[in-house]
Amino acid sequence: MYQLIATDLDGTLLNGEHQISEYTLQTITRLYQQNVKFLIATGRHYIDVRPIADQFDFPMYLITSNGARVHNKQGEVLFRADLNSQEIDRILDISSRYTLHRNIYHEDNWYVEEENEYVRSFNQHSGFDYQLTDFSTLEHQHICKLFFVAEHEILLKLEKDFIEAFGDSLNITFSLPDCLEVMAQKANKGEALKAVLAQKSIAPEHCIAFGDGLNDKEMLSLVGKGVIMANAHDRLKLTLPHLEQTLSNKENGVAEYLIGTFKL
């Protein structure tokens, strides 16, 4: 039976109101009481995720910024993968050709260039405060992620430009159709989960994982049972057609699958 559950947040564990339903919370708590470990693996920043994790009455590892950071149960950084200065300069140069919203995760900070509907909405839902910054003056150390918000068609063009410029030397992925994210090559949820499993002496085949975005691909491919949400990005479903699907996040898809699998 599975010893560890890893799950994405947005579009997966969280419902349509960006909350963990009481039904899901109780299901995961019951499994923890049966000695099944649990962790969150998300594109969100650690500062943003900590209050969500605190809703559970037990400690857990947190994979954040799409695997660029792993924090242990004590909040200490177990694993990190940052972009280098040359990569950051080039990413900013290429993205400057488009009309979109650019964001940077730098250590414990979220930097944006201007006020916009996206950052105000995300701040309202999460409570994670952003800072207005001139990116040209920002120190290029300890930057774990740049992400870009725009219409999907614009981001597809940006993705193409990034791939032409960097090949596979960076991790370039969609977390949502309107959000393209760029991290260091070794920053992905799969590599981060490997670091946690090594600490816990758990084999990947004894894990179950849930996700809905292309940034979940490596994690879903690594584990013994990868499960895709019904509301997942079509490209994820096409990339991993052999994986099982569960109900959507609005239908408590994670909890329903766990109840069936563990016979709760």
Just list the catalytic residues: 8
CA distances from 23 to 7, 12, 233, 250 (A): 16, 14, 25, 12
Sign of the Cα torsion 194, 198, 199, 201 reads positive
Q: Please, are residues 81 and 67 in contact by the beta-carbon 8 Å criterion?
A: yes
Cβ-based neighbours of 4, under 8 Å, separated by 6 or more: 36, 37, 38, 39, 197, 200, 202, 206, 207, 208
CA distances from 122 to 48, 66, 79, 114, 149 (A): 10, 17, 26, 14, 12
Paired with 143 in beta bridges are 106
Separation of alpha carbons 18 and 144, rounded Å: 24
Separation of alpha carbons 149 and 120, rounded Å: 13
- The DSSP line for 143-207 is EEEEEEES-HHHHHHHHHHHHHHHTTSEEEEEEETTEEEEEETT-SHHHHHHHHHHHHT--GGGE
Percent of the chain that is helix, strand, coil (3-state, to 5): 40, 25, 35
